[in-house]
Amino acid sequence: MCVVDNKFDVIIIGAGPSGIFCAYELSQKKPKLKILMIEKGRRIEDRLCPKRKTKVCVGCRPCSITTGFAGAGAFSDGKLSLSPDVGGNLPQILGYDETEKLLKESDQIYLKFGADTKVYGLNEEREIARIRKKAIRANLKLIECPIRHLGTEEGYKIYQRLQEHLLKEGIRMEFNTMVENILIEEGQAKGVVTDKGDTFYAPEIVAAVGREGSEWLSNLCREHKIETEVGTVDVGVRVEVRDEIMEELNRSLYEAKLVYYTPTFDDKVRVFCTNPSGEVATEYYEDGLAVVNGHAYKAEKYKTKNTNFAILVSKNFTKPFKEPIQYGKHIAQLSNMLCDGKILVQRFGDFVRGRRTTEERLLRNNITPTLKDAVPGDLSLVFPYRIMKAIEEMIYALDQVTPGMASDETLLYGVEVKFYSNKVVTDKAFETNIKGLRAIGDGASVTRGLQQASANGLSVARSILKSQL
């Protein structure tokens, strides 16, 4: 296929938050730039998941939950963490003050496009002090982080407005298009080749592929000898309890950022992505792998009686280990194998006793699972003992902060895994050892959430503008 208009100033691979905010900043500061965004998924208005209505996955390729404009953020709970202490490695790369400044600027952009003005965790000092006291007694570290909650349905609308704004600014977007390779000559990135046979050229290429594209980026790094370091593996479960159990934390903090170092193995465990009155959901990756996630809506009519959140165990390996994505996938595949491609659910009481949860025990619960097609099972057949032990010890610690967490009826869904590629080595301008190729966002293991990814997009845009454009 012959493409006439194939020369650009900047090519952005991926249309998740980091790519969106990079394009936004470039178009604001230098409107005449020719910018191309290439996204393997669909336009945001075409991102429809049949399972939301039918409750049955029909195997869409690519999956609309994880790919398309706004990436996985379009259907996430839409929480913006407004502290540099949460959501990634930007403070280590750019410095704490610069990261804080970028977070405020990206937050203002979200507000401009319709984000809720309410921020959780700012005016509840007495309540937070009480929670912190209980956390300290349980050897848990409470990381105070103001949260702006977009909501699943409202976040979708905000990103839709951003998409239309970028299109009006003249940014070209190629959807349903996969970048097959990057053209590199004498250590300089020159362009990209797509699965449609098109070749596009630009002196600046930004890889903003998100977690779903982390394996693609890892393969690219191996092929072109792009420098990487072994990244962290985050694997664990999604916990579901009644709202009453989490009432104090939900009201004061919305999302309690709690970190624990386990007494047995000294492993780092953290609470991640809390969804008050939310739903547990399934995410599908390109190869059909099913992993668990969660979300929550703003509108009262969509709210449930349950709160869900992730417990993630962070593992840092040493040489010769170099495959964090494959390690996480292997654990998730074991769960998929046991459940015929669905998500496994187990009661905490059965989890600690080493027995399989049955339909009969599940029906006796006060907690009704919000993921209706989850399969009762046994997580001990999935996780290594060390991860099992870390999850158990974390739940007992959390029970000291929010009593009832360690109830026999608490539900654990597996597997939740965050796919980060080996960490791409970059300078402070996020340029790799290949000149003109920059790697940003969750896919490059730079960030781990919407807000730092968005801030990362602003930062790399300014680095590009300072360079040669």
The mean pLDDT of 255-282, rounded to a whole number, is 95
Q: What percent of the chain has a predicted confidence (pLDDT) above 70?
A: 96
Tell the residue number behind the tokens 């998730």, with chain if given.
332
Distance separating alpha carbons of residues 393 and 161, to the nearest angstrom: 44
Specify the pLDDT at position 298. Answer: 85
Q: Please determine, for residue 403, whether its predicted confidence score (pLDDT) is greater than 60.
A: yes
pLDDT tier for residue 62 given thresholds of 50, 70 and 90: confident
HSE at residue 195, side-chain half, CA atoms within 13 A, is 10
Amino acid at 34: K
Three-state secondary structure call for residue 436: coil
Q: Please determine, for residue 76, whether its predicted confidence score (pLDDT) is greater than 90.
A: no
Q: How far is CA 26 from the centre of its chain?
A: 24
DSSP secondary structure, 389-423, as one string? HHHHHHHHHHHHHSTTTT-TT-EEEEEEEE--PSE
More confidently predicted of 65 and 5: 5
- Pick from 235-244, 286-295, 458-467: least confident: 286-295
Domains of the chain, start order: 10-115+151-229+421-467 (3.50.50.60), 125-145+232-418 (no CATH)
The mean pLDDT of 352-359, rounded to a whole number, is 96
Q: How much is the mean pLDDT over the chain? A: 92
The mean pLDDT of 199-228, rounded to a whole number, is 93
Q: Please determine, for residue 373, whether its predicted confidence score (pLDDT) is greater than 50.
A: yes
The mean pLDDT of 139-153, rounded to a whole number, is 91
Distance separating alpha carbons of residues 433 and 424, to the nearest angstrom: 10
Distance separating alpha carbons of residues 371 and 99, to the nearest angstrom: 37
* CB proximity list for 43: less than 8 A, separation 6 or greater: 68, 69, 163, 173, 175
Q: Please determine, for residue 131, whether its predicted confidence score (pLDDT) is greater than 60.
A: yes
Q: Please determine, for residue 395, whether its predicted confidence score (pLDDT) is greater than 60.
A: yes
The mean pLDDT of 251-262, rounded to a whole number, is 94
Residue pair 234/310 in contact (Cβ under 8 Å)? The answer is: no
pLDDT tens readout for residues 289-328 = 999 999 998 888 999 999 999 999 998 877 788 788 889 8
